Amino acid sequence: MEKDRAQWSSHVSFIIATVGSAVGLGNIWRFPYIMGKNGGAVFLITYLLLIAFICVIPLCCELAIGKLFKTDTVNAFKLINPHFKWFGWLCILTVLLIPCFYFVVGGWILNYIWIFLAHHIPQSFGDYFTSYSAQIFMPCFLTLTFLIMTAIFPYRGVNNGIEKANNIMMPIFALMLIVLAIFAIMQPNAVKGLEFMFKPDFSQFNKSMILTALGQALFTLSIGMGALITYGSYMKKDTNIIKSAYTLIFFDTLIAVLAGVMIFPIVFSFGLEPAAGASLVFISLPEIFSKLPYPSLFGVIFFILLFFAAITSGISIMETSIASFIENFHISRKKSTIIVSIIIAFISIPATLSFGILKDFKILNRTFFDFLDYATSNILLPINTLIICLIAGWCIKSFYKQVTDNIWLQRIFNIVLKFIIPLILIPVLIYGL
């Protein structure tokens, strides 16, 4: 297996692919509204500190495990210790559940691209969104369409599919984001939006914000389910892990902040609520676009941008389970892609319908869609991250040597990984549950 395993064709491709995985709905849809709900600048500071000093450790762990074992998530843990195989499968379970709500949003994005392209702009996006998401046929059809569009790339392979998709979509994405951010800063009340983002009001600080910031940080960096083990396993031998991790963090954060710069000035200029929540992107923003001189132009650019962000992340999510199915069931990449797609299709249909006919079907007081989001982001990702750190720190001999050659960095890494991370993550998890 190992010999003919695919490899990124260059270091730049590897970085673009990991950035493509990290930058997704988490940055553009989730980050602005979570920041809006949690007091703006103070949340941003908490989040930056957590990312730079805490989350970078599990990030390095995943990449290093991938680089060390050069195999999929399940086999990597099996090689560390055969008893850990179940944990690999727990990661795969997580990675199979995330797309089941993620791709529902992907379907909504496709629908919005269509509305703006075809000039079918509704009177009120609030009413429109509620009635559209409650339908049966169209939302399900578009969720499945998004699933198929995503699956095409891993189906075609690492270099021909995944790498190419990222190399083409990510630069276009970045360009569109910059154009929209510049447009946003030119709006009349832009300064208010920027103040909200960058001028901290420390009275807003509270404990539950730390947990929210941590969950968001793990989600946006794609940590906690082996996606980076899988992408790391395709990297070249001489790749520097810490440098790659900080490059990834830099771009992911830059893009999240740019997404904020694109959204908050518009929100404040048009007198909207920054804390509007999940509906910010699907109700408030389109409402504003429809009032601009060229509604279709802005709407189309924004939703295509969102589409690229979502699909490059979706690819990494699917690739993680596809790679594990290939290696563990000894099937071809094509077969594996089809099986994974069918599983996701089955679970994502009830998630799509949970805004309509299934809205009264509740698990733990949540609709099926919300339950999937909650169970994966708030429970499975932090638990998996903790286990990955514990396994890497305590069960792989001299793991720190995999991460860097610098003796001092090795020592710091070792202590943080073995003691500080569990000390932080365990209370956060207990408090969160």
The separation between the first and the last C-alpha atoms of the chain, rounded to the nearest angstrom, is 41
Q: Which is nearer to ligand TRP, 286 or 382 (CB)?
A: 382
Spatial separation of the C-alpha atoms in residues 213 and 206, rounded to whole Å = 11
Phi and psi at residue 356, in whole multiples of 5°? -130, -110
Nearer to ligand TRP by Cβ, of 284 and 320: the residue is: 320
* Count of residues touching ligand TRP (by CB under 6 A): 17
Among candidates 323, 113, 82, which has minimal Cα distance to 225?
A: 323
Pairing of strands 362-363, 366-367: antiparallel
Treating both helix axes as pointing N-terminal to C-terminal, what angle do 85-117 and 125-133 enclose, rounded to 10 degrees? 130
Q: Is 17 or 227 the residue whose CB approaches ligand TRP more closely?
A: 227
Q: Which helix (H) or strand (E) holds 362?
A: strand 362-363
Smallest distance from ligand TRP to CB 21, Å: 5
For residues 23 to 52, the per-residue mask of contacts with ligand TRP, x marking binding by CB under 6 A and - elsewhere, is -xxxx-------------------------
Task: Report the residue from 316, 337, 367, 404 that binds ligand TRP according to the rule CB under 6 A.
Answer: 316
Query: How far is CA 416 from each of CA 155, 326, 358, 411, rounded to the nearest angstrom?
Result: 39, 34, 45, 9
90 touches ligand TRP by CB under 6 A: no
Q: Which range of residues in 21-29, 47-55, 160-168, 393-401 is near ligand TRP by CB under 6 A?
A: 21-29
Residue corresponding to tokens 């496709």? 110
Least separation in angstroms between CB 313 and ligand TRP: 4
Q: 93 vs 412, which CB is nearer to ligand TRP?
A: 93
Of 176 and 190, CB closest to ligand TRP: 176
Please report where in the chains the tokens 């869609």 appear, as a residue. Answer: 369
Binding residues for ligand TRP restricted to 190-219, rule: CB under 6 A: 219
- Shortest Å distance, C-beta 373 to ligand TRP: 11
Stretch that binds ligand TRP, among 40-48, 222-230, 352-360, 396-404 (CB under 6 A): 222-230
Q: Least separation, in Å, of the C-beta of 388 and ligand TRP?
A: 12
329 to 17, 98, 190: CA distances (angstroms) = 26, 22, 54
Closest distance to ligand TRP from the beta carbon of 228 (Å): 8
With a CB cutoff of 8 Å and minimum separation 6, the contacts of 304 are 113, 176
- Contact between 220 and ligand TRP by CB under 6 A: the answer reads yes
Report the residue from 225, 300, 392, 428 that binds ligand TRP according to the rule CB under 6 A: 225
Q: For the segment 285-314, give every residue that binds ligand TRP (CB under 6 A).
A: 313
Q: Of 260, 365, 211, which is closest to residue 219 (Cα–Cα)?
A: 211
223: left (phi over 0), alpha (psi -120 to 50) or beta: beta
Residue closest to 141 by CA, chosen among 372, 355, 345, 279: 345
Mask for 351-390, x = binds ligand TRP (CB under 6 A): ------------------------------x---------
Among the residue ranges 180-188, 201-209, 223-231, 338-346, the one whose residues contact ligand TRP (CB under 6 A) = 223-231
> Measured between alpha carbons, how far is 255 from 276 in angstroms, rounded to an integer?
21
Beta bridge partners, 363, equal 366
Paired with 362 in beta bridges are: 367
Q: Nearest approach, Cβ of 187 to ligand TRP (angstroms)?
A: 26
Identify the bridge partners of residue 367 per DSSP, sorted by sequence position: 362
Q: How far is the CB of 314 from ligand TRP (least distance, A)?
A: 7
Spatial neighbors of 391 by CB under 8 A, at least 6 apart, are 77, 80, 84, 87
What sign for the dihedral angle of Cα 267, 270, 273, 277?
A: negative
* Contact flag: residue 166 with ligand TRP (CB under 6 A): no
Nearer to ligand TRP, 187 or 313 (CB): 313
336 binds ligand TRP (CB under 6 A): no
Rounded to whole angstroms, the Cα distance separating 184 from 280 reads: 15
Q: Give the x/- contact pattern for ligand TRP in 110-149, rule: CB under 6 A.
A: ----------------------------------------
Q: Which of residues 94-113 bind ligand TRP (CB under 6 A)?
A: 98
Binding site for ligand TRP (CB under 6 A): 21-22, 24-27, 98, 219-220, 222, 224-225, 227, 313, 316-317, 381
